[in-house]
Amino acid sequence: MKTYSAVPGQERSKTIPCSLCGGRRHRKILTSRNYTFVRCVDCGLAFQNPQPLFDDLKQRYGQNYFEYELENEKNFFHLMKLGLQDIRLFERTAELRQERRFLDVGCATGMLLQYLLDRGWSVNGVELCRESAEYGMRTRNIDIFVGTLEEARFPESHFSVIHFSHLIEHVPDPKAFFSEVRRILVPGGYLVVVTPNIDGLQARLFREKWRSAIADHLTLFSKKTLHKMLVATGFQIIKTVTWGGLAVGSAPMIIKRPVDRLAKRLGFGDVVLMLAGNTKTGMG
């Protein structure tokens, strides 16, 4: 049930304050030989602490990670497209007056960007894994920056939509990351965030065996803490959806299907998607 995760090597680490509120009071919630996750007593954010230094952590995203992304790109693309349909993103952006510019951070091999490019969007990607980025540039003719979003230094108020799926949980300082996203998003533009939901049914049932409780994930958001962080960095929440009630193989399909439907309807799914904007303009 686990997602991809590299086995940590001899990496340096440090104790950090809460990225959301700066608090240093926390309690342990998930532990294994490879990680310790704590929950901030003051705001409720769950994060890995102590945390591996990013200069060491980013070495995990190499050839093995690329092979995993390439093998699963069609399935990941299908899930991303379903999420964008759920929030009616393309109906919302149809009325944008400026050029439609789409940025996918953590774009992997670029399949989503190719889909949008073929439909008239101007697209850019950011990808830390060099092998994945080079594959996307070579086979899809997509402009992908190799590195982090901050290193890319995009112009201010440049993109109509910024999207990242299963990326924010890997970022060492998510609050600073969201601030940079807001800087490069146009007024009236849209932000789409997809990340595991630590308050979902699967996380509560499986705890350390939850597929998203892995050493590569630095922050595990709930709907509440993701909402708080987006508001704290200047965004306004437009829509929230969750999906995924039970993992494949954890229950017979006769049980899994109705639980999945309830998870989406009642909001206790394994994955949360939030659509946000940086102004009231353009929101529907």
Flag whether 143 is in a domain.
yes
Flag whether 51 is in a domain.
no
Please give the Cα distance from 2 to 51 (Å, whole number): 20
- pTM comes to 0.94
The pLDDT tens digits for 123-180 are 999 999 999 999 999 999 999 999 999 999 999 999 999 999 999 999 999 999 999 9
Residue 255: per-residue pLDDT: 85
Flag whether 74 is in a domain.
yes
Owning domain of residue 100: 61-165
Flag whether 160 is in a domain.
yes
Does the pLDDT value for residue 280 go beyond 70? no
Residue 279: per-residue pLDDT: 67
Residue 7: per-residue pLDDT: 66
Residue 157: per-residue pLDDT: 95
Residue 4: per-residue pLDDT: 75
Mean of the per-residue pLDDT values of the chain: 93
Flag whether 158 is in a domain.
yes
Flag whether 147 is in a domain.
yes
Residue 108 contacts residue 136 (beta carbons within 8 Å): yes
Q: How many domains does the chain have?
A: 1
Residue 102: per-residue pLDDT: 97
CATH number, residue 153: 3.40.50.150
Flag whether 243 is in a domain.
no
Flag whether 122 is in a domain.
yes
Please give the Cα distance from 170 to 213 (Å, whole number): 12
Q: For residue 2, what pLDDT band results from cuts at 50, 70 and 90?
A: low
| Joined tokens for residue 175 | 């609050």
How many Cβ atoms from other residues are within 10 Å of residue 75's Cβ? Answer: 9
Percent of the chain with pLDDT over 90: 82
Show the 3-state SS of the chain. Answer: CCCCCCCCCCCCEECCCCCCCCCCCEEEEEECCCCEEEEECCCCCEEECCEECHHHHHHHCCHHHHHHHHHHHHHHHHHHHHHHHHCCHHHHHCCCCCCCEEEEECCCCCHHHHHHHCCCCEEEEEECCHHHHHHHHHHHCCCEEECCHHHHCCCCCCEEEEEEECCHHHCCCHHHHHHHHHHHEEEEEEEEEEEECCCCHHHHHHHHHCCCCCCCCCEECCHHHHHHHHHHCCCEEEEEEEECCCCCCCCCHHHHHHHHHHHHHHCCCCEEEEEEECCCCCCC
Please give the Cα distance from 199 to 189 (Å, whole number): 28
Residue 6: per-residue pLDDT: 73
Average pLDDT over residues 18-26: 97
